[in-house]
Amino acid sequence: MRSLVAWLGFAIIGASFVWLQLLPERPPTRSLTVAPRISDGLGTVIIDPGHGGQDSGTIRAGLLEKDLALDVARRLDRILQAKGIPTLLTRDGDNYVSLAGRAATANREENALLVSIHFDDAKPTATGVETYYAPRRITTAPMIASWVPFLQHPEEQDNFDSQSFAGFVQDSLVAGTHAVNRGTRAEPFYVIANVRHPAVLVEGGFLTNKDDAAKLTTEQYREQLASAVADGVTKFRALMRERQRTVAAQGPRS
Ligand SMILES: [Zn+2]
């Protein structure tokens, strides 16, 4: 009897270990209207709507940051797909995804870009749009390292790509929305600092500002915002394509 109990204990421990291994971080949502995965060799645009589920983000004036972020992310997704650009949403519903889960989704992709969508809160006079990039980011790790955590030695490197990406997105945001230009800023926010791709975090307005909040309640403005971000993404991808061509034309250096 005692050995039966012991075996049962082992079985339960084994089963729960297997269960923990299998337990999914909510799977990323690929858009249903799937464009060709590799349309132009520049890879996927990962769209990360901030917050979700029990994490509402900022709540002001009846607006929830998580809802606005998802709405704008879905619009951005549709606009990019229409341009034939492959996309991937880190969440496509009102569910909680950890920051680590979001970064892991991004790091499973090759040649990707990440755009995280947020809205801000501050004193009532603060208004406008800003785009963040991480001052440094982890280097490209070989695929195996993402499966075997103890092999991971994330090294950091300067993040000029993300800085340049942020510049394109910010310029397009200001041109497309006429919102106050708060510029690009370097901050090591987790989701942009822990991906191995050029990554930016957009703060698309202040829910604590009367005018920003009023604009954000309209679909038209949210569409404008999404389309401005899409413009920035498209321009940065064009630059990347140009760079690829230059590298290809130069050929391997001797
Ligand atoms: Zn946020």
Q: List the chain domain ranges.
A: 27-250
Instruction: Read off the pLDDT band of 42 (50, 70, 90).
Output: confident
Distance of CA 173 from the midpoint of ligand 1 (Å):
18
Q: For position 122, what pLDDT does the model report?
A: 96
Instruction: Read off the pLDDT band of 245 (50, 70, 90).
Output: confident
Distance of CA 88 from the midpoint of ligand 1 (Å):
19
Distance of CA 32 from the midpoint of ligand 1 (Å):
26
Distance of CA 119 from the midpoint of ligand 1 (Å):
6
Instruction: Read off the pLDDT band of 35 (50, 70, 90).
Output: very low
Distance of CA 194 from the midpoint of ligand 1 (Å):
17
Distance of CA 210 from the midpoint of ligand 1 (Å):
18
Instruction: Read off the pLDDT band of 34 (50, 70, 90).
Output: very low
Given phi > 0 = left and psi -120 to 50 = alpha, else beta, which region is 22?
alpha
Distance of CA 121 from the midpoint of ligand 1 (Å):
9
Distance of CA 23 from the midpoint of ligand 1 (Å):
27
Distance of CA 168 from the midpoint of ligand 1 (Å):
21
Per residue in 144-200, pLDDT (tens digit) is: 455 555 555 556 678 899 999 999 999 999 999 999 999 999 999 999 999 999 999
Distance of CA 202 from the midpoint of ligand 1 (Å):
9
Distance of CA 13 from the midpoint of ligand 1 (Å):
38
Whether the per-residue pLDDT at 71 is higher than 70: the answer is: yes
Residues 49/56, Cβ–Cβ less than 8 Å? no
Whether the per-residue pLDDT at 57 is higher than 50: the answer is: yes
Distance of CA 201 from the midpoint of ligand 1 (Å):
9
Q: What is the dihedral of CA 130, 49, 75, 87, to 10 degrees?
A: 110
Q: Dihedral of CA 211/216/217/218: which sign?
A: positive
Phi, psi of 241 (to 5 degrees): -65, -45
Distance of CA 240 from the midpoint of ligand 1 (Å):
28
Distance of CA 55 from the midpoint of ligand 1 (Å):
9
Distance of CA 65 from the midpoint of ligand 1 (Å):
7
Q: For position 8, what pLDDT does the model report?
A: 66
- Name the DSSP letter for residue 164: H
Which residue type occupies 1? M
Q: Hunting for tokens 């050995």 — which residue is that?
A: 3
Per residue in 99-152, pLDDT (tens digit) is: 999 999 999 998 999 999 999 999 999 999 999 999 988 765 544 455 555 555
Instruction: Read off the pLDDT band of 52 (50, 70, 90).
Output: very high
CATH of the structural domain 27-250, one choice from 3.40.50.2020, 3.40.30.10, 3.40.50.150, 3.40.630.40: 3.40.630.40
Distance of CA 51 from the midpoint of ligand 1 (Å):
6
Q: For position 39, what pLDDT does the model report?
A: 55
Q: How far apart (Å, rounded) are the C-alpha atoms in residues 129 and 170?
A: 8
Per residue in 197-238, pLDDT (tens digit) is: 999 999 999 999 999 999 999 999 999 999 999 999 999 999
